[in-house]
Structure 1
Amino acid sequence: MRDAVAVTGIGETVYQKKSLGKTALQLQLEASLAAISDAGLKPTDIDGLITYAGANSPVIPEDFIVNFGLDLRFSGHTPLGGASPVAAIQSAAAMIFAGVCRHVLIPVGRSNYTGARASDRIKGSSQLRLITEFERPAGAFAPAQYYAQFARRHMELYGTTSRQLAEIAVTTRRHAALNGNAAMTAPMTIEDHQASRMITDPFRLFDCSLETDGGAAIVVSATERARDMRQKPVIVMGVAEGHPDSPSTITQRENLTEFGTARAAPHAFAMAGVTPKDIDVAEIYDCFTFVVLNQLENLGFCRKGEGGAFVENGNIGLGGTLPVNTHGGLLSQGHVLGMNHVVELVKQLRGEAGKAQVKDAEIGLVSGFGNMCEGSVAIMRRA
């Protein structure tokens, strides 16, 4: 499927750390209309739809059929938490490559302040509810508590430090300040990070992603059709998803520092015909700072255990060896399960990223990460 499909439209709403007064469905419809218009299409041109129906965003294909008057030939659902949007690109590519669909819409929207509470979302998650045998009896029931164990293990094995995690938070915030649509833009220093309150060891407040209202969406089309559409297409070179061992537990895994990303990456790079050295910009899923650091290793940008050193000295900032999360990510822009990462990569490869534009960006990577370490990876290039 290499180069068979392209992202032809992107759309997003405002992101903010307070209620937008809209439901998850309303936010998804708003972002979807923007993406469809960006592609130069009408809603009725959409014949494929892949939704994400989280506990606080109970949206199904019929919602879009009713509101947009769609005549769908395919509808699907990718229940992989934050790995869902990028994994959905693979499903869209397969349906288009098979000739089932022409244009597939992938929307995500969250109403964290007008929808369910965080505790309710966790209980409703299709996979987090399985973590009952070892973790919950010890009092662990929130994502920060789960993922902190991975971070602590990495620190014990490789000497990774909290100040190295701070480099990711500070760099991401610096990028968010260049973005006209980011929830958190106040300057942050390493010392600010270190002084923020402890959430669950070793994660401090600024190691954790935001809770925001917002929506984002993309349209995926056949590359042949995309060349005649409104926007310059961003072509999908390679895409894959991967799953870890023992997906329903943490403490019983043999290797706590290998995410599903490590299994997805070789397939995505092989399909794309490139290596990590060819990537000009990367949008890495960042529910927590450590998740970025570990994915950089799992993706092959540095060796195992060298992620801490890799993120230091401006290496992941604009002008660095590998600019990462140029929009501010989940840590500072907004949390829509990483669909904003996909939107940002498309902007970068179109040359539309404004003050955060990476010069001469030709090939980029976006990752997804969700539930108990499912991973997804897409590699794209400008046409």
Structure 2
Amino acid sequence: MERSLSDRACIIGVGETEFVRGTDKSLAQLCIEASLNACKDAGIDSSEIDGVISPWKFNIRHEEFVHGLGMKELKYSGRFEMGGASYIAAIQSAAMAVALGVAEFVLVSTGQRGYSGPRIGAGDTSVLDLNNEFMPNIEYRDNLEYPYGVSVPLHYYSLHANRWYHEFNPDPTGMQIVAMTCREHAQLNDKAYMKGRPMTEKDYQNSPLLVHPFRLFDCSLETDGAGAVIVTSQKNAHRFKKPIYIGGIAEGHPTYPDDIVTRPDIFDMGITHAAPRAFDMAGVRHDDIDFAEVYDCFTFMVLRQLEEMGFCGRGEAPEFVKGGRISLSGQMPINTHGGLLSQAHICGINHIVEAVHQLRGEAGKAQVKDAKIGLVTGYGDLSDGSIAILHN
């Protein structure tokens, strides 16, 4: 594969809000706050931003960013409808825009009011209406799923998970290892919502079984917050102290991306197709990866992404994560900030923020020693996927 986009763009600023449960701020206010923090981190004035991509998440209009950031001119804008895979797909688009000279500084910002808005965990029935705002194929959902009780992500992904267990008979403790590792890493991160709330094996095993095989602690958090990333071209890199280069990046979609159960291979995922392209573009191998921030809407999805990216075979991820391999001192630390499971769920953009901190050597107690190459994934909707391979 021609490495046409490799190292032609870099990340020069990242920012986040506080991660809380309960806020009076609108989603636009949260995203603008995170964006201003990213501008400060980059050392540029917010008026210099001339491209904005607000991936997914309902109704954050580009005009709101223009006004909120005092932008002089908006040259490039975009949107992506891939759920939690959107933010990396947006960064890919930002990289293309700056590499081609369409814009100089492209901002990618997203987040959610996952606690203060409609909540699955609170049994809010308006979640179904919300679901129809961003899920593909509304008619399919309304007529063939909702009437039979398949209505929220837990239900969709349980069909995939139960088939995986039936087909490969993997060790069920793999999901527990992911949950506990993320919680352990969160104890090292002052910004993690679960800092100060450690988890024991007993805590995990006694957590309620919600939809087989998912327990409460297999599920990502419902939190409020936002994050932001600023991308510029390689030719601007010399202006900044610690630019982080985008070595490889890709999005992917499964066969029949609007449904899970009718696709020819239920295990086919967007990351299945995206990962080989990203590795090829970056010119790296799996053994070159120093750490990975893997989209963890559910513990199960971390395991499946590891398999589909080629770190191990299908059904082998529970063995792969054993023996401390994914802990901070292991061969490939995963979700060093706590992830969506234990830091915050802001549509995954906190994964890319953490990767940048790791590659700058700014991750504090959670710093991976000599981190040079990091991998970040996104997962969304009905198995859409995205992946970025970054290096310092």
TM-score range, shorter chain: over 0.9
Q: State whether structure 2 residue 59 is matched by structure 1 residue 49.
A: no
Worse-matched range after superposition: 127-136 or 170-179: 127-136
Q: Work out whether residues 122 and 128 of structure 1, in 8 Å CA contact, stay in contact via their aligned partners in 2.
A: no
Question: Which residue matches 2:123?
Answer: none
Q: Which residue of 1 aligns with 2:64?
A: 63
> 1:169-218: CA deviations, max 9, x gaps?
00000000100001113111223211110110110000000010011101
Give the SS at the match of 1:372.
coil
Alignment match, 2:206: 195
Q: Distance in 2 between matches of 1:371 and 1:131?
A: 14
Structure 2 CA distance for aligned equivalents of residues 209 and 64 of structure 1: 28
Distance across 2 between alignment mates of 1:114 and 1:135: 27
Deviates more, 1:284-293 or 1:150-159: 150-159
**Match status 1:5 vs 2:15:** no
Structure 1 unaligned spans of 5+: none
C-alpha displacement of 1:128? 6.6
Which amino acid is 1:235 matched to? Y
Q: Is the contact between residue 134 and residue 251 of structure 1 (CA under 8 Å) also seen in structure 2?
A: no
| Conservation of the 8 A alpha-carbon contact between 1:242 and 1:261 | yes
- SS state at 2:35 partner: helix
Alpha-carbon displacement from aligned partner over 1:267-326 (angstroms, at most 9, x marks no partner): 101110111111000000000001000000111111222111011121111111110000
The separation in 2 between residues aligned to 1:192 and 1:117, in whole angstroms, is 23
CA distance 1:194–1:309, change in 2 (3 Å): same
- 1:288 counterpart = 2:288: no
RMSD (CA atoms): 1.3
Distance 2:139 2:62 in 1: 26
8 Å Cα contact 2:114-2:345 kept in structure 1: no
Tell me if structure 1 keeps the 8 A contact 2:194–2:342. Answer: yes
Matches within 5 A, 1:166-315: 166-185=176-195, 186-229=197-240, 231-315=241-325
Alignment partner, residue 76 of structure 1: 78
Secondary structure of the structure 2 residue equivalent to 1:172: helix
Distance 2:135 2:107 in 1: 23
CA offset digits 1:243-279 (Å, max 9, x no partner): 0011111211222222100100011011101111110
Q: 1:250 to 1:234 in 2, by over 3 A?
A: same
Q: Which residue of 1 aligns with 2:364?
A: 354
| Alignment equivalent of 1:90, drawn from 89, 92, 98 | 92
CA contact (8 A) 1:128 1:371 kept: no
Structure 1 stretches of 4+ with a deviation exceeding 6 A read none
Task: Give the CA deviation at 1:131.
Answer: 4.1
Asked if the contact 2:359–2:371 (Cα under 8 Å) also holds between the matched residues in 1, the reply is: yes
Superposition TM-score, scaled by structure 2 size:
0.94
Alpha-carbon distance in 2 for matches of 1:199, 1:327:
25
Tell me if structure 2 keeps the 8 A contact 1:211–1:334. Answer: yes
Aligned residues: 378
Residue ranges of structure 2 left out of the alignment (5+ in a row): 121-126
Length-normalised TM-score, structure 1:
0.96
Whether 2:111 is the aligned partner of 1:100: answer: no
Q: Is the 8 A contact 1:22 1:114 kept in 2?
A: no
Q: Identity, % of aligned pairs?
A: 46
For 1:91 and 1:288, the matched residues in 2 are separated by 27
Question: What does residue range 11-160 of structure 1 map to in structure 2 within 5 Å?
Answer: 11-16=15-20, 18-55=21-58, 58-70=59-71, 71-118=73-120, 119=127, 120-127=129-136, 129=138, 131-132=140-141, 133-160=143-170
1:126 CA displacement:
3.9
Q: Is the 8 A contact 2:57 2:111 kept in 1?
A: no
